[in-house]
């Protein structure tokens, strides 16, 4: 049955990488989209026919490792990104200077003291102060929330307090990481620990920034893995008097020079009107920041590379920005706003990808209802790759300052995947990302960006 063989082969190939010129469904599609259907199809086809985005992301992590603000890694990665963008043929490729905080972790450890010390798996929280060189040794108090902390206030002075908070949502749980240290410090506690903010992993603690409350005592703070938090909880529940020794060399060095990286495809008719897309190029100093947020950087950058490769030059300028210092300062986003203050009225849309490049489902959107209706129409072009959902709450930490300043419509890539499992951990590496997922993410961003930049009327 010779006819069946090629068909079966084609099916196998389709499952991995659909061939170029992916079908863009026409049913129920608004008529105004007709001129964009063919370029959209080419963009999607080109994106999913190769693993270029994944390979670039892998190269980034393999070569430079993590990219914490102030690190030589980030500096070298920025230099590479500029060269690569030029090699892609992007235009107006340049850097914009940003002074960034320079926090370093140094050596750190946590152990249960005793005749046979028991080391625990921990990660100091970003922006934490360190301990004295000899470390801090104290008795452990375990609480599950701020109410229990207040109830235990008489027992906190001179002790190490651990928040053993079950992970619900990131937003709900992260406040203990951010605000816990000062809440404990003000009661006289000497250090704060938190059960790592994320779903249960395989003994992978999650770092992330803390926020000391101004004018209150600062104490060192660290995350412990779920397994270790559970162990400590069991020991305390058993009535064991647990003593811990925490050692952290964490400290701030003077602010460092860093840069936002910018590349463009200049608009053919309205070059001063800009659609901005991007992610943050810095990461925590664990893993290789593949998912947070190398993937968002590469997927948005890839959208421009695809347009360039296919000779698609939209009416307006499309700009990719790789912001610096999202994780422990947010200074890249504010520097962008300040530098482009006079120009923000001409930003017709801003899009950030910082929720991982797992299987894309569509976008979050914030803006007027009229703009939302247009965005929803455009998303129908992405039905073929199942990335056509438009949800509430578009935005991102780096586009936030500009968006708020000038009321710019804001979008974020939405994806389905276990983002928070590897978030801010040593496990945030490229092997967790499927090449086809990041290809689809690039395709979705490319199509949305292209149409917004091309449509005759401004979308805002």
Q: What does the binding site for Zn ion look like in residue numbers (CB under 5 A)?
A: 292-293, 354
Beta-strand ranges (E) seen in 80-180 are: 91-104, 108-112, 118-120, 122-124, 136-143, 160-163
Yes or no: say if 63 and 294 are a contact pair by the CB < 8 Å rule.
no
Minimum distance, C-beta of residue 256 to Zn ion, in the bound complex (Å): 19
> Long-range pairs for 148-157 at CB < 8 Å and ≥24 separation?
149/183, 149/184, 149/187, 153/187, 156/184, 156/187, 156/188, 156/189, 157/187, 157/188, 157/189
Q: What's the Cα-to-Cα distance from 58 to each of 62, 303, 432, rounded to whole Å? A: 6, 17, 11
Q: Can you read off the two tokens belonging to residue 43?
A: 């963009």
| 260: enclosing H helix or E strand | strand 251-265
Which residue in the block uniquely carries the two structure tokens 């938190």?
A: 194
Nearer to Zn ion, 22 or 357 (CB): 357
Beta-strand ranges (E) seen in 52-90 are: none
Minimum distance, C-beta of residue 400 to Zn ion, in the bound complex (Å): 12
Nearest to 358 by CA among 281, 435, 288, 445: 435
Nearer to Zn ion, 263 or 296 (CB): 296
Minimum distance, C-beta of residue 314 to Zn ion, in the bound complex (Å): 27
Yes or no: say if 271 and 319 are a contact pair by the CB < 8 Å rule.
no
| 454: enclosing H helix or E strand | helix 435-454
Yes or no: say if 332 and 326 are a contact pair by the CB < 8 Å rule.
yes
Minimum distance, C-beta of residue 291 to Zn ion, in the bound complex (Å): 8
Nearer to Zn ion, 101 or 135 (CB): 101
Annotated catalytic residue 326: yes
Nearer to Zn ion, 293 or 437 (CB): 293
Minimum distance, C-beta of residue 209 to Zn ion, in the bound complex (Å): 11
Which residue in the list 46, 326, 352, 426 is annotated as catalytic?
326
Nearest to 329 by CA among 252, 223, 433: 252
Minimum distance, C-beta of residue 434 to Zn ion, in the bound complex (Å): 19
Nearer to Zn ion, 201 or 356 (CB): 356
Q: Can you read off the two tokens belonging to residue 436?
A: 């086809």
Residues 6+ positions from 379 with CB-CB distance below 8 Å: 362, 363, 387, 388, 389, 390, 448
Beta-strand ranges (E) seen in 188-248 are: 191-195, 221-224, 243-248
Rounded to the nearest 10 degrees, what angle do helices 72-87 and 295-309 cross at?
10
Minimum distance, C-beta of residue 233 to Zn ion, in the bound complex (Å): 30
Nearer to Zn ion, 285 or 292 (CB): 292
Nearer to Zn ion, 292 or 388 (CB): 292
- Catalytic residue ranges: 326
């Amino acid at each position: 049955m010779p006819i069946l063989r090629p068909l079966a082969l084609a099916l196998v190939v389709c499952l991995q990488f659909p061939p170029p010129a992916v079908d863009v469904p026409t049913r129920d599609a608004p008529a105004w989209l007709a001129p964009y259907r063919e370029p959209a199809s080419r963009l999607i086809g080109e994106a999913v026919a190769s693993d270029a985005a994944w390979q670039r992301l892998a190269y980034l992590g393999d070569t430079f490792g993590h990219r914490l603000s102030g690190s030589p890694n980030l500096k070298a990665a920025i230099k590479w990104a500029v060269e690569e963008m030029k090699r892609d043929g992007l235009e107006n490729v340049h850097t914009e200077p940003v002074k960034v905080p320079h926090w370093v972790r140094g050596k750190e450890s946590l152990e249960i003291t005793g005749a046979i010390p028991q080391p625990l798996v921990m990660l100091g929280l970003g922006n934490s102060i360190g301990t004295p060189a000899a470390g801090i040794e104290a008795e452990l108090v375990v609480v599950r929330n701020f109410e229990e902390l207040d109830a235990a206030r008489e027992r906190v002075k001179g002790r190490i307090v651990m928040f053993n908070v079950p992970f619900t949502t990131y937003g709900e749980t992260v406040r203990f990481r951010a605000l816990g240290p000062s809440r404990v410090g003000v009661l006289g506690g000497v250090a704060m620990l938190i059960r790592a903010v994320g779903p249960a992993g395989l003994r992978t603690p999650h770092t992330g920034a803390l926020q000391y409350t101004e004018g209150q005592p600062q104490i060192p703070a660290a995350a412990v893995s779920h397994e270790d938090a559970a162990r400590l909880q069991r020991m305390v529940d058993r009535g064991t008097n647990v003593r811990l020794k925490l050692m952290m060399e964490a400290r701030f060095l003077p602010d460092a020079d860093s840069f936002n990286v910018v590349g463009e495809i200049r608009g053919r008719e309205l070059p001063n009107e800009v659609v901005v897309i991007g992610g943050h190029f810095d990461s925590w100093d664990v893993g290789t920041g593949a998912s947070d947020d190398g993937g968002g950087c590469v997927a948005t950058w890839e959208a421009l590379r695809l347009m360039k490769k296919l000779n698609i030059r939209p009416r307006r300028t499309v700009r990719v920005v790789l912001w610096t210092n999202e994780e422990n300062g947010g200074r890249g986003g504010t520097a962008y706003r300040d530098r482009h203050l006079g120009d923000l009225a001409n930003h017709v849309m801003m899009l950030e990808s910082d929720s991982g490049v797992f299987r894309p489902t569509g976008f979050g959107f914030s803006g007027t209802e009229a703009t939302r209706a247009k965005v929803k129409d455009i998303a129908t072009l992405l039905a073929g790759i199942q990335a056509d959902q438009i949800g509430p709450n578009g935005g991102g930490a780096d586009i936030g300052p500009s968006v708020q300043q000038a009321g710019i419509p804001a979008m974020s890539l939405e994806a389905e995947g276990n983002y928070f499992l590897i978030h801010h951990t040593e496990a945030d590496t490229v092997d967790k990302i499927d090449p086809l997922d990041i290809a689809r993410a690039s395709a979705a961003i490319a199509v949305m960006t292209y149409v917004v930049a091309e449509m005759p009327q401004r979308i805002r």
